[in-house]
Every structure is written in structure tokens, then in C-alpha cells.
Amino acid sequence: MSDITHFITAIPKAELHVHIEGTIEADLLLTIADRNEIALPYKSAADILAGQSKGKSDPKQNLDSFIEALDVCRSVLRRGRDYEDITYGYLKRCQIEKIVYAEVMFDPQQGLRQGVGIEAQLEALKSGSLAGARDFGVEVQWIMSFQRDRPVEEALNILDAIQPYRDQIAGIGLDNPERPDFPNTFAPVFAAAKKEGYKLTSHCDVHIPNSIEHIRGCIETLGVERIDHGLNAIEDDSVVQQLIDKNIALTGCPTRYAFQSQTSPDDLAMMTGLLEQGVLISLNSDDPAQFGSGWLSQTLIEAQRTGNLSRKTMAKFMRNGFISAWLPSDRKAAYLEEFDRSCDAIRWKQ
Ligand SMILES: [Zn+2]
């Protein structure tokens, strides 16, 4: 193992942008599909990869087609037990990746449409994360991510329904296809969530029409504390300044939408550019089991290779994961101390 690979794999990491439905490894996906009697268009792990990879050569491949493929995998989730198993599976993987802290997104609407009540989802996520914390020493917080192509009323009703489970959810997010003017549309949801004390984040996908306007809307109208992706901010100095002034973090994903199993050099240049300008940006995996896009260590190793990034840059990206975490200051300080100690101890000659 090279010094670089060793440094990246051995260092304790935080992951802040990962969707639990995108972490289901092939064997578990097939097991869950089988026990729920869901017919998937795949028979083996190799089939899954081949099926998903077929789309990679399609020039029309985009966020919508990625979500379509992801829906095939998400369709197997029909019982609380499924959510418990996928949570435990991700946390098991965290131990290999040396992820010691994760903020994980889950999609309540997909589960509800598939007959899993919100209470069942939350109970299962809780028991899965307690078992994972016990067995693999990983701390987890949950972000409930609404689908912005679904009605606002649906999100408001769910927000109401989770009142009894308030302490199980750290934050509220938005994902799925980026509809025009979504920050204004979802303002009532974020206002209600803010009143309840939830942390707030939203996806602003990369190179979407009106990217800058949407990022600005998330900051000014939704009052987010974090933005998932948001790389187009680099095209507007005033937006970059807003991110810095308001201490709004970005969660970058070098293999965004996962069908890009390789790091996009252009995306990476936007991420390093934002980092250099002083934006609090971290690197994350997004949907690591989809399309063979890779778990966090692999994602970081690929990013380092693609941009020939220095040890200092990689350490800064990784350290930013802990700095951006929604944790009380003493917990954050403890993680940062552990990170800095490891950083000093692990060799990486360049
Ligand atoms: Zn995402």
C-alpha cells in the first residue's frame, strides 16, 4: 500500500453526505428482494453492476436517469427490518472505511409509498444504528431528506408525524430532481423545521439550470446551514462570500450521482477552488454502493490521484468533515483532536 493510500485509509473520517438507500450492497439487496418477493431485473452482484454500468456510456445519463436506477434498488424496502439491516450494513462498512462519525440521509417518502410507516422506519433506523454503534463503534445522526419533486404538503405532514421522534433526527434536507424555484416552494417546510430546532441542509446539484439562484435561495430563503454539492457557487464571488460569512458548509461528492464511478476532474477543480477560497467543504461518497461508485476511502484516493492533491489539501478536506458536523462543541473538539493526532502519526511522503 502506498503512503498516500495508507494515509487516507488509516485516518479517522467523518461522512456527512451519504444516502442510506444508496449503501445497500449487492448481496443484501438480493437477500431483501428475495424475502420481500420483489422481482429485480438483476440475478447477481455482477448483473447489478453490469446493468447500472450500461447507462454510463449513455450521453443522456443525468440526475433523472440516475434516480430512476436508484429507485430500482430502493424498491426492495418494504418492512422495518429492511431499514434495520441496511443501517447495520452501512455501519459495518464504516468500520472498514474508518468512518467514526456519520450523518446519514434517509428518504421517508419512498418508504411510505412502499408501505413502511414512518414509525416503523424510525424504529428500525434507531435499532440498526444502536446495534451498529455497539458492534462497530460508529456514531450516527440522521437527516430526513424530503423529495423536492413531491408536494410540499406531503413534507409538512411527515414533519408533523415525526414529532414524537424529534430527538432521533438531527436535520432536514431536500433531494431528488431539482425543480425550478424549489427554495421558494419549500420555504414553509424549512420554516416549520427551523421552529422545531432541526438543522437544515439541501441538495443543490451540479450544473443544473439556475444553479446560482438556487444556492442563493437555499441560503436566503431556506436558511440552510449546509448545502449538499453546491459546487456552482464558485461561479459567483458574492455567493462564495455568503458561504464564508455565514459559515455554511458544502458537502462535495467527487463521484456525484454515482454513475460517474471516476472522479470528474472538472468537479474536483471546483471543490479544490472552493477550498482554496476558504469555503468549508468536505468530500463524501453520496451513494457508495450504486454503480460501483466506491466507498469513502476509495472516493478520497481517486480524488487525490485525479487532482494530484497534496497531503495538506487532503487533510483539510477530511478535517472539514468534522468541523461541519452537527455536533456539540465538546464532541466536535474530541473528534478533531483524534483526527489531528492521527494526522501527525501517519506517514505520507511526497
Ligand atoms: Zn446526495
CA of 22 to the centre of ligand 1 (A): 9
Name residues with Cβ closer than 5 Å to ligand 1, which is an ion: 286
CA of 140 to the centre of ligand 1 (A): 17
Domain-embedded: residue 211:
yes
Question: What CA–CA distance (Å, rounded) separates 270 from 265?
Answer: 9
CA of 15 to the centre of ligand 1 (A): 12
- The domain total for the chain is 1
Please say if the pLDDT value at position 256 is more than 90.
no
Mean pLDDT across the stretch 107-115? 96
* Beta-sheet strands, E only, within 121-212: 139-147, 169-175, 199-204
Domain-embedded: residue 323:
yes
CA of 175 to the centre of ligand 1 (A): 7
- Which of the two residues, 32 and 294, has the higher pLDDT score? 32
Mean pLDDT across the stretch 81-105? 98
Domain-embedded: residue 42:
no
Mean pLDDT across the stretch 237-245? 98
What pLDDT score was predicted for residue 265?
Answer: 83
CA of 260 to the centre of ligand 1 (A): 13
Domain-embedded: residue 31:
no
pTM for the whole thing? 0.94
pLDDT (tens digit, 9 = 90+) per residue, 145-182?
Answer: 999 999 999 999 999 999 999 999 999 999 999 999 99
Domain-embedded: residue 115:
yes
CA of 69 to the centre of ligand 1 (A): 14
pLDDT band at 47 (very low <50, low <70, confident <90, very high): confident
CATH number at residue 11: 3.20.20.140
2 phi and psi, to 5 degrees? -70, 165
CA of 345 to the centre of ligand 1 (A): 32
Question: What CA–CA distance (Å, rounded) separates 136 from 92?
Answer: 6
Half-sphere exposure of 274 (CA within 13 A, CB side): 31
CA of 120 to the centre of ligand 1 (A): 23
Domain assignment of residue 298, given as a range: 3-25+77-345
Domain-embedded: residue 262:
yes
Domain-embedded: residue 57:
no
CA of 148 to the centre of ligand 1 (A): 13
CA of 172 to the centre of ligand 1 (A): 13
Percent of the chain whose predicted confidence (pLDDT) is above 70: 92
CA of 228 to the centre of ligand 1 (A): 7
Please say if the pLDDT value at position 59 is more than 80.
no
Domain-embedded: residue 50:
no
CA of 346 to the centre of ligand 1 (A): 30
**Going by C-beta distance under 8 Å and a sequence separation of 6 or more, which residues neighbour residue 164?**
none
CA of 70 to the centre of ligand 1 (A): 12
- Which of the two residues, 325 and 54, has the higher pLDDT score? 325
What pLDDT score was predicted for residue 3?
Answer: 87
